[in-house]
Amino acid sequence: MTVTLPTPAAPLKIGTRGSPLALAQANETRDRLATAFDLPHEAFQVVVIKTTGDKIIDRPLKEIGGKGLFTREIEEQMLSGAIDIAVHSMKDMPVEQPGGLVLDCYLPREDVRDAFVSPTIPALSSLPEGAVVGTSSLRRKAQLLNRRPDVQVVEFRGNVQTRMKKLEDGVAACTFLAMAGLNRLGMAEVAAGAIAPEEMLPAVAQGAIGIERRSDDTRAAEMLSAIHDIETGQRLAAERAFLAALDGSCETPIAGLAELDGGTLRLRGEILRTDGSEALADETSGPIQDGAEMGRVLAEGLLARAGEGFFDWK
């Protein structure tokens, strides 16, 4: 099938949030599409859309509605035809897309690890007794409190630049960011160090960029298939099935990571009480093609061990 490619006069419109990281991800998508189809950058238009999650930054996510806060307005613009595709950080994405939308294109995954960031403390292992730690992530908060119940955790919303300013102002002694985001912004030196997954298992789909489209848009489907990274898709199929089976949202501390070794997929998962008082973890491995089923089974096993009332929302 031959599709009509975009031109500077009729560009493909790429929807995104407006933070420096979101724009870097949209520009990477544009660059990959331009290279794949030998098109000028002018054949693409990056359209910034402000989401509810971007507008309300003084309250925890769980108080204003969860993951859809970073996607709803963008998806509405796509369904209306105002944009053609949308670029998302996959760790922000709900496990189900609205009717009429498809998410089946992923760019090559970046570093999955969390970054420890502090102007004065060299590493997570050096965190002093009673230190004040800033994070808006329930997962990171629960994982930290599980091993260090002595620390004080304060809310730390905002983009990378905002959080760095809060550290400078002394709001907290340290924070956590995603190594992937720092790498994409050319700011890897901001991290005091990366935290191994064995020490802090990352969020499901951390480091991955997903590109959403309308299900009936054949041009977008064909163009996106040219830049889709198969390995990232295989890993996320397992991780997001794990998340879906847990009914995961921004209100639940869940971690998960799938890794490939030849034809074998290894999947690790963790669930935690929101106060960090208990953590349950497990892992499984098997053929790549069984990834989604492995994710579901791993989640069911952890839920069975957790029992009623493990999560606040249960």
Q: What is the dihedral of CA 173, 66, 205, 45, to 10 degrees?
A: -100
Amino acid type, 309: G
Q: Distance between alpha carbon 26 and the CA centroid of its chain, in Å?
A: 15
Q: Which structure tokens are listed for 244?
A: 């879906």
Q: At what angle do helices 291-306 and 230-245 cross, to 10 degrees?
A: 30
**Rounded distance between C-alpha atoms, residue 20 and residue 160, angstroms:** 8
Q: Residue 115: beta bridge partners?
A: 177, 194
- 251: number of Cβ within 10 Å: 18
**Residue among 54, 84, 92, 111 flagged as catalytic:** 92
DSSP of 112-175: --EEEE-SS---GGGPPTT-EEE---HHHHHHHHHH-TTSEEE---S-HHHHHHHHHTTS-SEE
Q: Are 14 and 38 in contact (CB under 8 A)?
A: no
Q: Are 233 and 103 in contact (CB under 8 A)?
A: no
- Using the structure block, give the residue that is written with the tokens 């790549």: 288
Amino acid type, 295: G
Helix (H) or strand (E) holding 14: strand 12-16
Q: Let me know if 31 is a catalytic residue.
A: no
* First-to-final CA distance of the chain: 48
**Which positions are catalytic?**
92
